[in-house]
Structure formats: structure tokens, C-alpha cells
Amino acid sequence: MKKALICGVGGQDGAYLARLLVDKGYEVWGTSRDAQVAGFENLAQLGVRQAVTTRSMASKDFRSVMSVLYDCEPDEIYFLSAQSSVGLSFEQPAETLESITIGTLNLMEAIRLLRRPVRLYHAGSSECFGHVGKAPASEDTPFAPRSPYAVAKASAHWLVANYREAYALYVCNGILFNHESPLRPARFVTRKIVAAAARIAAGSPERLSLGRLDIVRDWGWAPEYVEAMWLMLQQSQPRDYVIATGQAHSLQAFVAAAFAAVDLDWQAHVDSDPRLFRPTDIAWSQGDVSRAATELGWRAQAHMPEVVRRMLAAEHPAAAKG
């Protein structure tokens, strides 16, 4: 039986990955900053809470990292924790940089010092690419980060590449584009949109205020993306992969799809508020998934309209169309 450690098991990706690995017969361990008080509601919602051994771990604290790895003795580690909000990174840049870069570094140093054949997946981000025009970004596209979050993820990406080369560790970056699900926290714009559409369809008089509606993103379905994470650690050699649908849609199109699914005209309920604009934002973000398709045999099945429908069905089943 393989053993996996998921750092950040309580989040969207961590919970779906835990379910996937439990179904594959893994012994699954998961960490959060304080496992004794964490509710792990996402694990419970997916029916795997009792199948996951949870431990407290602060990824910025090397002793904490070493203690968990020593006790768990994992075959695979998935580093999904740390500050994950682009918007929040402008308000908490130091916390964002430290939790992402130091956390990644500590895990690789622990693996190196323990001298065990552990495989590490690092959750990279499409935000590292910045604005690349309308060309889909591949693994060879240069980074041009435009937020503290993206700067931190880019730094961690190159740390992974350095440790892979310098110490022959099996470590890799998953450069994931936007991926959504009903487990997205309410602060994320996609969940905010879907939840508002469901409430308004149920009779709420509110109006939904958003930032820029003209930004373009590549949205996929989170349960599919965690399978790509697992596939990366099953290859004979470690390599970095872009994970995306390859399709690009504007935020306005996402909003329109959500409101149309509940028979509403989005323009009657949504405002674009300049006060919600970020200091810098990426105009167009789209992924080239050719390498993952060829080498991992992975392609996204659900694209933006289907992602919206599934999220809305979970938020308000009576309002969602089939």
C-alpha cells in the first residue's frame, strides 16, 4: 500500500485528491496548520474524513515539517497548502511569499535529508505567466508574474527545478490554470458568482458587484485536475506540466452562463465596480496542454459551461437546468 501526504488536505484540491487516493487504495495522511481544531468539512462532504489521518503542520517551520515526514514516511507528497488568493496577496505579500516559497523549500530539504525515495508534487500556478497576449501558455513560456502570489509561485517553481537538478530529487511542478468546484471558498469570484445567481433566482433582491468583467481565463473542473497531479508522480522521470482545458472565456461569459442557467439576464443583476479592480491583473490566461495530453494521457473533459452548471447544481439544485 502506497502512502501519501497531502499538505493542505482541507482545501478544495486537497479534499478531492484525498478522495482520489483513498479510492486508489492509498493510505492517506493530510495536514493543516492546526488539525485539532480544523473541521475538515470538505473531507466529510466527500465521505473520506475517517479515511484520512490528519496532523498539524506549519510548512514554514522546518521542525514541524520534519516531524510529520518522520512519522508518516510517505511515498508521495502533495504540497497544496499556503496562501492561495491572488487578491489577498496584495494585502499580505510577506505571508504569501513565506508560506509558498519557504514551505516548498522546507519540504524538499526534509526529503533530501531523510534520504528516502519520496516524490513531491508542488502546486504551481498559471499566474506565473502573467500577460502573454492571446497565445496559450506552455511549459516553455517565460514567466512574468504580476502579483505577490505569482512572484511567490514563480520562486517556488524554480526552487523545485533547482532541487531536481542539483540533488536528483523526484520533484515536479503542476502549472494549473483555474479550476473550480462547489468546494471553492466563498471568497473566490467563481463561487461568489454562482452563489449570488442561486440566491437571486430564489428571490433575493441583491445586486452582485464584481471587478473587471473583460478578463479571460481557462476554467476547468477541479476533480479532473487532481487526477493530473497524481499522474505526474507516476511517471518514470519527474517533469513539469501545464494543466488546463485549452479553452478561454471571459468573466462576463462565466457570469452570463451562471445567470442564464437560472433563466435570468445577468445585466439586470450585476455591476462592475472599479473599486474592486486589482492593482495589476492578467487580461488573458489560457493553457496549452499538449505535453500533458501526450505524456500523461490527460485531457480535460468539463469546460466552462459545464463547470458552471455543476457548481450551480450543487449550490441550488432546484435552480439548475439539466
- Residue 25: exposure state from Cβ atoms within 10 A (0-12, 13-18, ≥19): exposed
Q: What pLDDT digit, counting tens, does each position of 146-177 carry?
A: 899 999 999 999 999 999 999 999 999 999 99
Residues with Cβ within 8 Å of residue 117, at least 6 apart in sequence: 75, 170
Residue 91 is predicted with a pLDDT of 85
Q: Is the pLDDT of residue 6 over 80?
A: yes
32 noted as active-site residue: no
290 noted as active-site residue: no
Query: What are 35's three cell numbers?
Result: 488539525
Catalytic residue from among 26, 149, 170, 241: 149
Class at the top of the CATH hierarchy for domain 3-179+220-243: alpha beta
Closest to 110 (Cα-Cα) out of 172, 33, 169: 169
Please, what's the b/e burial string for 290-300 (b: 16 or more CB within 10 A of its CB; e: otherwise)? ebbeeebebeb
Residue 318 is predicted with a pLDDT of 61
The whole-chain average pLDDT of the chain stands at 94
Q: What pLDDT digit, counting tens, does each position of 201-254 carry?
A: 999 999 999 999 999 999 999 999 999 999 999 999 999 999 999 999 999 999
Q: Is the pLDDT of residue 316 over 90?
A: no
Q: Rounded CA gap, 84 and 105, in Å?
A: 17
Closest to 57 (Cα-Cα) out of 79, 25, 35: 35
pLDDT band (50, 70, 90) for residue 322: very low
Residue 215 is predicted with a pLDDT of 93
Decide if 3-179+220-243 and 185-218+247-286+304-315 have a common fold.
Answer: no
Catalytic residue from among 32, 125, 126, 155: 125
DSSP 283: S
127 noted as active-site residue: yes
| Angle at the Cα of 182 from the Cα atoms of 176 and 186, rounded to 5 degrees | 90
In the chain, domain spans: 3-179+220-243, 185-218+247-286+304-315
Q: Is 114 left (phi over 0), alpha (psi -120 to 50) or beta?
A: alpha
Residues with Cβ within 8 Å of residue 88, at least 6 apart in sequence: 96, 149, 187
Give how far the C-alpha of residue 1 lies from the chain's centroid of Cα atoms, to the nearest Å: 26
At 195, is the secondary structure helix, strand, or coil?
helix
Catalytic residue from among 127, 180, 224, 315: 127
Q: What is the pLDDT averaged over residues 51-77? A: 96
Contact of 59 with 79, CB cutoff 8 Å:
yes
CATH number of 185-218+247-286+304-315: 3.90.25.10
Q: Is the pLDDT of residue 85 over 80?
A: no
- Residue 318: exposure state from Cβ atoms within 10 A (0-12, 13-18, ≥19): exposed
pLDDT band (50, 70, 90) for residue 281: confident
Q: Which residue type, as a one-letter code, is found at position 228?
A: A
